[in-house]
Amino acid sequence: MTGALLSVRELSVEFGRGPAAERVVDEVTFDVRPGETFAIVGESGAGKSLTASAILGLLPDDAVVTSGSISLHGEEVLTATRSSVTRFRGSKIGMVFQNPLASLDPSFRIGNQLKEIIGLHRPAATKRERHEIAETWLRNVGIDDAARVLSAYPHELSGGMRQRVMIALASLSGPALLIADEPTTALDAVVQKQILDLLRSVSEETGGSLLLITHDFGVVSYAADRVAVMKDGRIVEQDRRDRVLTAPADAYTRSLIRAVPEIGARFRLAERGLPRRLGPAGGDRSPASADGGDGTAVTAAGPRDDDRDARPPLVTLRNVSKEFVVGGLGTGQRKRRFRAVGDVSLHIERGEVFGLIGESGSGKSTLSRLIGGLLRADAGEIVFDGRDIARLPKAELRRLRPRFQFVFQDATSSLNPRVPVGEQISRPLLRFGKAASRAAGRARAAEALDLVGLPSSYLHRYPHELSGGQRQRIGIARALALEPDLLILDEPTSALDVSTQANILNLLLDLREELDLTYLFIGHNLAVVEFLCDRVGVLEQGVLLETFRAGELSAAGRHPVTRALLDAVLPMRFTDESGTRGHAAAGKADP
Amino acid sequence: MVLTATPVTRSPNPLKGTAPRRRRSRLRVNAQVTLALLVIAGFVLVGLLAPVLAPYDPDLADGGVKYLGVGAPGHLLGTDELGRDILSRLIWGGRTSLVVALAASLSSTVAGSVLALVAGFSGDRAAGLIMRTVDVMFAFPVIIIALVLAVILGPGTPVVVLSIVFSAVPYVARVVFAEVKLQRGREYVEAARSLGAGFFSILFREVLPNVLAQIVVYGTGLVGGMIVFSSSLSALGIGVQPPTADWGRMISEGAKVIISGNVYPALLPGLVVLVVALAFNWLGDGLRDVFDPRRRRAGR
Amino acid sequence: MGTVKHILWRSLNIVPVLLVVSALTFLVGRLTPGDPIEAQFARDHTPEQVEAIRASYGLTLPLWQQYVKWVKDLFTAGGGMSIVQNQPVFDILLPNFANTLILTAAGVVICAVLGVVIGVVAGTNHRGFLDRFAMLFVQTGSNLSVYWFGLILIWIFSLRLGWLPASGMESRNGGGFGDLLAHLVLPGLSAALISTLVLARFTRLGIIQESQSDYVRTFASQGVPRRRLVAKHIGRNILPAVVNIIGLEIGTLITGVIFVESVFNWPGIGTQLVNAVNGKDYPLIQGGVILVALCYLLVNLLTDITVDALNPRLRR
């Protein structure tokens, strides 16, 4: 217990005041020891970010600390006067935020911003010294062309670069504690690992501790020494990382960990003859339909080869290309062409799950919209069940639409906020004559809700009355109501919490079985794609590099880009008992 | 180590002192809307019942009772330089002012919204052309438009209505267009397309319900400003013409006698304009909070 | 070099607008009902003479030739002859136009200074007493009729208190710059009223919104004092938008100026134009429209260039 650097005791935070106040952090107690990396992990709404903000005194306007204490080096932070809080900030605690794109002032050059902070912590430093310190720190965070970056504006740097600058900014005063709030959530997988390595090495260099706020068990597994699991404002358990990951004491932690998709998990399940499911079996789908899919049908790890070859592919792409024109007259920017998809050929078999993976901006969403007829290809043909939708007249394409349906990434924005859920499902049914009357439409909508495990009373609800997972179920139900052959899933789980994601993935597997569907699944999380898909295609800058069976993901001879994506997946240590890690572990064993 | 629980503390926000945040309660919002509606309804009713309520003929000049002050016997709000009863003129004047402002605001709100919706969902070229025209018109001095209209049509009520429409349509179009553009980027529009919805279906069944609240709020707020503006135009002499009683006219006629110390003939109609305009403003603000309580109320 | 090109491009952009505005302005003369020539000269001239006068105004030519002649007259003939005053339009308007510009400039200064000050005070005290007070003031003020507001100012400050002159541009026996300033205060305030409050509201909102942005949180987490956050970071980030609003408000301001001129007997073009309306002197209106439109477009151009220059994304 002795020598805790940061000591949080029974901290409670509430939104609002009086009887209507909502407690969002509930008597949270933990210590961060010198030199260690302490992670707080939890799903959205668990109160982890607010806990971090409270430490810095940066809570939003309407949040109030109602009780508890926070002390740093034995000095109370909460009762400190405002000027000493200001002193704490920066000099003793540095903070790295989630969104590197907005965390730097867009109107000043990087150098100016770094030097301002340096001047604050070392008022005696000359202009020249400040410049040198700024340059040194940029090198410390792995930026080689420091001179260029110093004179750049934030918008001229990539997200990863900006996060590096943020880390430099937060740690150049050598703070005893560096707080990183979801520092890699907004970044590509490949960059994520670099940033986590950097955070650890920087805090080792300054001799400080790192408090990591994350929703991702991969991050915990990769970077943390000790971890606290939060749920609904409370810490449900905290311990050494390996203990929490391998032998979680709390039921909630167990269910969370089981919900995390892992590379190879599907094949390990198959070896043991277990069903292909994530999380606690059954999920929150209604028991009746869950029974049908459980145990028997969805076990096989491999695709159903038998009936596949008999039928021609559902979708065939030949040399498909798509260019976008950016800028031009009236936009104030130079007109330039930008190739989003270049010369892609592939085919999707009936009944299979085809996965598309690539970094953000690799063209996977564009490709899915071409296949789904939301965009027109510039060249090549897209044959859907014998018809080239790239050249189909508008009216005919519209008639074909019910047969390929989308489930979008952002369930919140893909539902119309002002229209009741039931009407959103039944409107297209009436439009395509799949329901003769409004009443029939409602009945069909209720059936669709039943498919995704929601009661028919939800027909009258508005999207904002539903949870994120429920909204995505509505999105799936709306697509399924039209009885499509192909379901195009554009990162349908990337905005969801891990346990919700598990439920949706399980649901998708069940539905495919029940309704004989074909899926095109777009993803950026390789573990999810591997878990769900039969075959996988890898896109980079609009070019399809290779396609392979999911089981051959780790096989020799994979394209370097695929290997880089695979390497970027943070290794899970849920079953690993040894405490060794890639880093010099700074944390000491528990007393 | 600190293990004692400290007393309740408020954490400081980086930019704020310690002023407590008061959430605007639903009740207060409703009270605001109700009050504004009452005021507006009151004025509309008084305007409708003008022939019954007005104690005098608004145009009846009585040389014997010039410049009576407020509270004079028989003339509650006094008389003007011609001895006309100010209260009666205010009652009758409301008719013109309200009708002009309401008609002009309604038509410009509808026209501007349609323009914005069409621009929002037509090609980039068409949208660019429409919105560039709107941009140029947007800040063009209204008074110039009014003067031009006045020389073509001759001073009168149509000048007021038309110049309001010319000046307000670009405002409405810009506000609604910004909102439509925002909605256009949301995935539900793309989802509707993937579900086979056509142009008009997306425009009117998907997007319109999402921008309607904004339109109503903005249109309501517009009325207040237009009552004020029309009164200024009439005061300048290119709006409503004598002998029609009108608040703006009353102000400019009062202006001539203010030098001699008679402030009431000008003061009273101005105050009435202020109260009515404020009521419409309040109604607009209140409606915004009712329609969308989640939207942070920082403006106005 | 890119900058010069950019400015040139921006300037070229106003050419089509000018063409449209001038064409519309020209049409005003054609759309005016009744025949001002007839009305003016029929009584003491023979029909032939009236026809000759009509020809001398170029009214017998085809429409497009009339437009060309009209544009040529703008440059060479002082904008054509006023019907009522029988003098070149610009000879009548220009001396007064200078006075209007003086009043407008005063309005811009008042609007910029007062608007930003009110906005900053309210925005930095968000939800505090000062904010509430300022917003009450802003909301009430925005619903005042400019014309009436001017009258009330006269009544209070000139008639009641006797502090400031009630009308005109200079005292009877003349008086230097100070005298002009004294005459400018009340009309300037009235003309700038609406624009000031729009700017105040906007500045306040900008400060409140930027305060909640991530970069402000970054610098606050590093212990940058609040005053500095507002002055340096927030200030710099809302500056382009503030400049833009000031530029856009020029239209409102000109409208305010013309209302105010008639209240304060300011010898500007406002009064002349209102009189021209009553005399159906459309060449004078046309001249006035062209002058005001030109000013307005120039200010917009300057605003655009300034805003672009302030935007780091467009620099380099």
Q: What is the pLDDT of residues A403-448, one digit of tens each?
A: 999 999 888 888 998 889 999 999 999 999 888 889 999 999 999 9
Measured between alpha carbons, how far is A351 from A369 in angstroms, rounded to an integer? 20
Contact B238 C32 (CB under 8 A): no
DSSP state of A298: G
CATH of domain B31-298: 1.10.3720.10
Task: Taking residues B57-75, report their average pLDDT.
Answer: 69
Instruction: Please identify among residues 48-67 of chain A the ones whose CB lies closer than 8 Å to any CB of chain B.
Output: 54, 57-67
Task: Taking residues B195-221, report their average pLDDT.
Answer: 88
Measured between alpha carbons, how far is C119 from C136 in angstroms, rounded to an integer? 13
- Could you count the other beta carbons within 10 Å of the beta carbon of residue C51? 14
- Could you count the other beta carbons within 10 Å of the beta carbon of residue B176? 25
B18 touches chain A (CB under 8 A): no
Measured between alpha carbons, how far is B261 from B267 in angstroms, rounded to an integer? 12
pLDDT confidence tier of residue A90, bands split at 50, 70 and 90: low
> Which chain A residues touch C217 with a CB distance below 8 Å?
58, 97, 103
B2 touches chain A (CB under 8 A): yes
Task: Taking residues B230-257, report their average pLDDT.
Answer: 81
Q: Is the pLDDT confidence value at C109 over 90?
A: yes
Length of chain A: 591
Q: What percent of chain A has pLDDT over 70?
A: 88
pLDDT confidence tier of residue A270, bands split at 50, 70 and 90: confident
> Which chain B residues touch A7 with a CB distance below 8 Å?
1-2
DSSP state of C231: I
What residue spans of A415-525 are helical by DSSP H? 421-431, 438-451, 468-480, 498-515
In this structure, of A563-572, B167-176, B239-248, C240-249, the range with the lowest mean pLDDT score is B239-248
Query: What phi, psi does B11 have (nearest 5°)?
Result: -80, 140
Give the model's pLDDT for residue B292.
65
In this structure, of B227-241, C41-55, C253-267, the range with the lowest mean pLDDT score is C41-55
Characterize the bridge pairing of strands A518-523 and A486-490: parallel
Contact B8 A67 (CB under 8 A): yes
pLDDT confidence tier of residue C70, bands split at 50, 70 and 90: confident
The first and second tokens of residue B94, run together, are: 């409301």
The first and second tokens of residue A437, run together, are: 């009357």
> Which chain C residues touch A166 with a CB distance below 8 Å?
218
Query: What phi, psi does A13 have (nearest 5°)?
Result: -130, 135
Check residues A89 and C88 and name the one with the higher pLDDT. C88
Give A237's strand partners. Answer: A229
B123 touches chain A (CB under 8 A): no
Three-class SS state of A96: strand
pLDDT confidence tier of residue A88, bands split at 50, 70 and 90: low
Residue pair A245/A229 in contact (Cβ under 8 Å)? The answer is no
Q: Is the pLDDT confidence value at A515 over 60?
A: yes
Give the model's pLDDT for residue C64.
81
pLDDT confidence tier of residue A553, bands split at 50, 70 and 90: confident
Check residues B221 and A84 and name the one with the higher pLDDT. B221
Give the model's pLDDT for residue A80.
66
B274 touches chain C (CB under 8 A): yes
Task: Taking residues B23-47, report their average pLDDT.
Answer: 78
Measured between alpha carbons, how far is A553 from A551 in angstroms, rounded to an integer? 6
Length of chain C: 316
Closest CA to C161 of C170, C152, C169: C152
Q: Is the pLDDT confidence value at B77 over 90?
A: no
CATH of domain C89-315: 1.10.3720.10
Task: Taking residues C137-145, report their average pLDDT.
Answer: 88
Q: What percent of chain A has pLDDT over 90?
A: 26
What type of residue sits at position C309?
A: A
Characterize the bridge pairing of strands A234-240 and A226-231: antiparallel
The ranges assigned to domains in chain B are: 31-298
Contact B225 C142 (CB under 8 A): yes
Give the model's pLDDT for residue B128.
77
Measured between alpha carbons, how far is A415 from B187 in angstroms, rounded to an integer? 8
Contact B11 A54 (CB under 8 A): yes
pLDDT confidence tier of residue C36, bands split at 50, 70 and 90: low
Residue pair C258/C101 in contact (Cβ under 8 Å)? The answer is no
Q: Is the pLDDT confidence value at C72 over 90?
A: no
Q: What is the pLDDT of residues A215-242, one digit of tens each?
A: 888 899 898 999 999 998 899 999 998 8
Contact C222 A117 (CB under 8 A): yes
Contact B151 C285 (CB under 8 A): yes
Query: What phi, psi does A544 have (nearest 5°)?
Result: -80, 110
Measured between alpha carbons, how far is A412 from A196 in angstroms, rounded to an integer? 30
A8 touches chain B (CB under 8 A): no
Contact B195 A475 (CB under 8 A): no
The first and second tokens of residue A520, run together, are: 């095109």
In this structure, of B24-38, C112-126, C197-211, the range with the lowest mean pLDDT score is B24-38
Q: Is the bond preceding residue A19 a cis peptide, omega within 30 degrees?
A: no
Q: Is the pLDDT confidence value at A127 over 50?
A: yes
- Closest CB to C201: pick one of B143, B266, B299: B299
ipTM above 0.90, yes or no: no
The first and second tokens of residue B118, run together, are: 């069409």
Closest CA to A205 of A586, A580, A579, A590: A586
Average pLDDT score, chain A: 83
- Could you count the other beta carbons within 10 Å of the beta carbon of residue A195? 25
Q: Is the pLDDT confidence value at A537 over 70?
A: yes
DSSP state of B9: B
B260 touches chain A (CB under 8 A): no
A432 touches chain B (CB under 8 A): yes
Task: Taking residues A64-75, report their average pLDDT.
Answer: 85
- State the DSSP H helix or E strand holding residue C44, giving kind and residue range, or none if neither: none
pLDDT confidence tier of residue B296, bands split at 50, 70 and 90: very low
Task: Work out the angle at residue B217's Cα, subtended by the Cα atoms of residues B213 and B222, and round it to the nearest 5 degrees.
Answer: 145
Q: pTM to 2 decimals? A: 0.81
What type of residue sits at position A542?
A: G
Contact B1 A82 (CB under 8 A): no
A105 touches chain C (CB under 8 A): yes
- Closest CB to B9: pick one of A79, A413, A418: A79
A354 touches chain B (CB under 8 A): no
Contact A419 B10 (CB under 8 A): no
Measured between alpha carbons, how far is A427 from C206 in angstroms, rounded to an integer? 41
Three-class SS state of A372: coil
Q: Is the pLDDT confidence value at A134 over 60?
A: yes
Q: Is the alpha carbon torsion for A541, A546, A547, A551 positive or negative?
A: negative
Count interface pairs B-C at CB distance under 8 A: 171
- Closest CB to A105: pick one of C215, C221, C315: C215
The first and second tokens of residue A65, run together, are: 């600390």
Residue pair A269/A281 in contact (Cβ under 8 Å)? The answer is no
- Closest CB to A413: pick one of B5, B188, B193: B188
Give the model's pLDDT for residue A354.
94
Measured between alpha carbons, how far is B236 from B232 in angstroms, rounded to an integer? 6
Give the model's pLDDT for residue C39.
66
Q: Is the pLDDT confidence value at B152 over 90?
A: no
Q: What dihedral angle (degrees, nearest 10) is formed by the CA atoms of A75, A81, A86, A92?
A: 0
Give the model's pLDDT for residue A227.
93
